[in-house]
Structure 1
Amino acid sequence: MSAKVLVIIGAGGMGLAVARRLGAGRTVLLADIGEDVLKAAEQTLRDEGLTVTTQVVDVTSAASVQHLAQTAQAAGEVDQVVHTAGLSPVQAPAQAILKVDLLGVALVLDEFATVIAAGGAGVVIASMAGHFAAALTPEQEHALALTPADQLLQLPFLSPDKVTDPAAAYGIAKRANHVRVAAASTVWGERGARLNSISPGVISTPMGQQELAGQDGQLIRALVDASATGRFGTPSDIAAAVAFLLGPDASFITGTDLLVDGGVVAAVRSGRLGALTAPAE
């Protein structure tokens, strides 16, 4: 068994791409809420020569995430952590999205801050939707960044009567990822580790295909057509960015968000798309 451990939370397209990019010579601890998904991913990666172990995790449960962190630490030196798990607006109602995409990230950051090795690094997959979220006050962003995880969903502006639209919940959660990572990077830094987020654009994953088939599919295609690259992203595009942020070339980068969207945000902010509002990834 490798002395170094790569933890990947989320066994979807991005998680598998990261495992393939970074897993050689390491123990890959792959975690997901779906046991069948995990079994299939484990077999695929093992067939490709990687050393893989799996664990079912519910990122909305502090005890479940803590157990995952303990398992990772017992497996070796935890020097890379990548959180890719999440729900999109077409997959769940608003409060479920806040629970998984906001609370889940906060719990992972807290628990893995206690086991990440010196010189290690973590990446949270956020979304370009966080750059388009409805404006939050400085006080609200401060609360999202620093409120203890077990109290996050009790914030008044996140109450079920205030956040009812899944797309709005997704944007808030992803913006929260940005500010939460920035704040948590100082805690990780006390252990000599770095922490950043990545905001993907429209990526060709099963989740991305669901979004394209949803009510905002036409708008999503228009955004891609207007972007500088004019194409959908791939899981490999995200894995390459993850590899950079986890590697030595990014040793002076922490507490920030890397936008990997093919130029969609730039196209919107430049006015190319007029008053259109960008959807979730």
Structure 2
Amino acid sequence: MVAGSKTNEELIECLQAVGEDTTESKNILEKLWVQNKGLVRLTIHKLTGLSEFDDGFEDMRQQSFFGLRAAAYAYDLTSGVKFSTYAVKRIKWELTRYYERNGFTVRVPAYMKKRFRDCIEKKLELEAETNHPVTYATALEKMGFSPAVITGTLAAFRKLETTSIDKIISDEKEGDGVSLLDITAASDNVEEAVLSQEWLKELHNTLIAALRDIPPDAYKIIIQHYFHGVSLTKIAEGQGLSRQTLYNQETAAFQAIRMGKYGTVLAEFMPSHNSYKRAQRLIKQDREAIERLQLTGAERKLLIT
């Protein structure tokens, strides 16, 4: 860090003090973004396998900004946790939500294009020899690949947004737009648990803040009913009121929350959590599909040249 520049935590302290959507807050956010570009690049790469100049990376970077911004405003300066640690979790959360909403594709890697070019050549060669149609699976088998490799290769290509493998391979345009679901570095169960806990903590804090904005009587009803599992009938008996009266108070309180300043934030939580869980499954499936490809030594060399 340059001498005299503020730490992440110092910038966030200033940011939270000036509030949102001000000229000063925008300037602070810009400094925070520039200061954490390396962290963002690394986070994107670890989650998606993308590098800075790959197709799709810029979309991921833009989504990461939303995650960083949300992290900056939600970060608890007294938590004792470094902002960089907290921000990574929030950025990953934002990226998995984006993946779920939009899907995520990157271009077919060079080693795979070479494998299928070789496969097509083998297919044509076998058809010429036998005078009979030959499948891609048969061609891959004749090339010496194991059943697991053949299955993984064909499964991966079925995810391509096209119906013709030949068309994919024949498109030699530099930096072509051919795409393959190729998320190669998914989070494991521990990371998923951490993100889920982070989500639950944020939901809890937002919900409690929203409840504190409603009348005290309604607050007590909701806490007893939903947090402690006491039925409305029991609560009504204890307060000497009718069950319908309590139900009406509860309904009015929920309506006030939906219409209040926390309504929009709370509305995002339930669908986004379901989306997050589904996105994690999709990323895991894509990673497993890639692992089943079992790269040959020659193909591994293509990845690093």
TM-score by length of 2: 0.21
- The structure in which a higher percent of residues are strand is 1
TM-score by length of 1: 0.22
- The structure in which a higher percent of residues are helix is 2
